[in-house]
């Protein structure tokens, strides 16, 4: 298999490793949320998102790390030019001296990643655990994730051990967003993942326990 569709994965500081989210595997245990706040650079503050999609209907949960867009929308809309990418293309939290706390980035990010912290008056976000990845360690969330819905390794490792194909392009209406972080699709030849369109809701396994009739 050749390189996955989407942005370049050349990442000197990450030593050829990459971050993959396969949300279908998520078991909602929140180990990622708990581990994120143990990270050395933002102790006590978890920057990953973990949401129940619709707990009334399903146990499906979705973890969300920063996708590290090639052209980050958060940086584009920042009036203070406070959001920077490093030489690996990893998008950083807002620079504290520059951030004016306007939350433009929070509103604009197509993936809903940046968080505005009122007490610090600063936007903070997932930086792929730069303190760990820059010294060859896996990010905290991908280290602990029991289902490995959050995964960190080389593309060769992925192809050797995991099913599915890597996708690094997402479509939001007319906007196509290439990202550094990949997600897993069954068939990437179908093109960028159309996020707002979603997939048609199909009843699962004769739908236990939807039971057909309206409630």
Partner 1 sequence: MSRLPVTEAELIERYGPHLNLEPPGGWNHGLEIDREVETHCCFCGQQCGIKLKVADDRVVGFEPWYDFPFNKGKLCPKGVKRYLQGSHPDRLLEPLVRDPGADGGFREVDWDTALQRTVAEIQRIQGAYGKDSFALLSGVSLTNEKSYLIGKFARLALQTANLDYNGRLCMVSAGAGNKLALGADRAPNPWSDIPLAEVVFVAGANVAECAPITTSYIWQARDRGAKLIVSDPRVTPLARTADVFLGVRPGTDSALMGTILHVLIENDWLDHHFIDEHTSGFADAAAAVRDYTPQWGARTCGVPEDRIVEAARLWGTSQTGMLLHARGIEHQSKGVENVLSCINLGLATGKYGRPGAGVCTITGQGNGQGGREQGHKCDQLPGNRDITNPEHREYVAGVWGCDVDEIPGKGLTAQEIIEAIHDGQVKGLLSICFNPAVSLPDTAHTAAALDKLEHYTTIDFFLSESAQHADVVLPGSLHEEDEGTTTSVEGRAIKINAAVPPPGNARLDWEIFLDLARRLGRGQYFGYENTEQVFEEMKVASHGGTADYNGMTWQRIEDEHGIFWPCPTEGHPGTPRLYEGGVFAHEDGRGRFHAVAFREPAEVVDDEFPLWLTTGRVVSQYLSGTQTRRIGALVEQYPEPLCEMHPRLAAELGVRTGDLVTVTSRRGAMTTPARVVESIRPDTVFIPYHWPGSRAANQLTNRALDPVSKIPEYKVSAVRVARAEGHVEVRDRRVTTLQERASGGASGGWTPGDGS
**Per-residue x/- track, 18-47, partner 1 (CB under 8 A):** ------xxxxxxxx-xxx-xx----xxxx-
Region binding partner 1 by CB under 8 A among candidate stretches 65-73, 89-97, 138-146, 169-177: 138-146
* Residue 158: CB minimum distance to partner 1, A: 10
Tell me: does residue 51 bind partner 1 (CB under 8 A): yes
Measuring CA to CA, how many Å separate 51 from each of 147, 186, 190? 16, 23, 27
* Residue 167: CB minimum distance to partner 1, A: 17
**Running DSSP on this structure, what letter comes out for residue 91?**
B
Of 1, 8, 10, 52, the residue at the interface with partner 1 (CB under 8 A) is 52
Cβ proximity to partner 1: between 7 and 21 the closer is 21
Q: Return the ∠ at Cα 192 (arms to 25 and 137), rounded to 5°.
A: 50
Query: Under 8 Å CB-to-CB from 134, ≥6 apart: which residues?
Result: 13
Q: How far apart are CA 14 and CA 88, in angstroms?
A: 7
Burial class (CB within 10 angstroms; exposed 0-12, middle 13-18, buried 19+) of 147 = middle
CB 124 within 8 A of CB 48: no
Total residues contacting partner 1 by CB under 8 A comes to: 53
Tell me: does residue 131 bind partner 1 (CB under 8 A): no
Residues near partner 1 (CB under 8 A): 24-31, 33-35, 37-38, 43-46, 49-52, 55-61, 115-120, 138, 140, 143-148, 161-163, 204-206, 208-211, 215
């Amino acid at each position: 298999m050749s390189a996955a569709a989407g942005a370049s994965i050349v990442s000197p500081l990450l030593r050829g490793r990459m971050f993959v989210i396969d949300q279908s595997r998520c078991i909602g245990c929140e180990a990622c949320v708990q581990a994120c706040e143990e990270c050395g650079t933002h102790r006590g503050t978890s920057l990953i998102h973990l949401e129940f999609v619709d707990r009334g209907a399903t146990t499906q949960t979705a973890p969300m790390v920063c996708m590290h867009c090639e052209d980050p929308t958060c940086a584009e809309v920042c009036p203070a030019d406070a959001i920077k990418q490093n030489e690996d293309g990893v998008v950083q939290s807002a620079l504290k001296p520059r951030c004016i706390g306007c939350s433009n980035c929070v509103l604009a990010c197509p993936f809903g990643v940046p968080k505005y912290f009122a007490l610090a008056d600063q936007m903070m976000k997932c930086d792929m655990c730069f303190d760990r990845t820059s010294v060859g360690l896996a990010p905290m969330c991908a280290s602990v994730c029991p289902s490995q819905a959050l995964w960190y390794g080389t593309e060769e490792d992925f192809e050797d051990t995991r099913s599915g194909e890597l996708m690094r392009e997402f479509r939001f209406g007319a906007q196509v967003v290439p990202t550094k972080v990949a997600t897993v699709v069954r068939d990437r030849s179908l093109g960028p993942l159309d996020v707002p369109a979603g997939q048609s809701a199909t009843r699962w396994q004769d739908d236990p326990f939807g039971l057909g009739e309206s409630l």
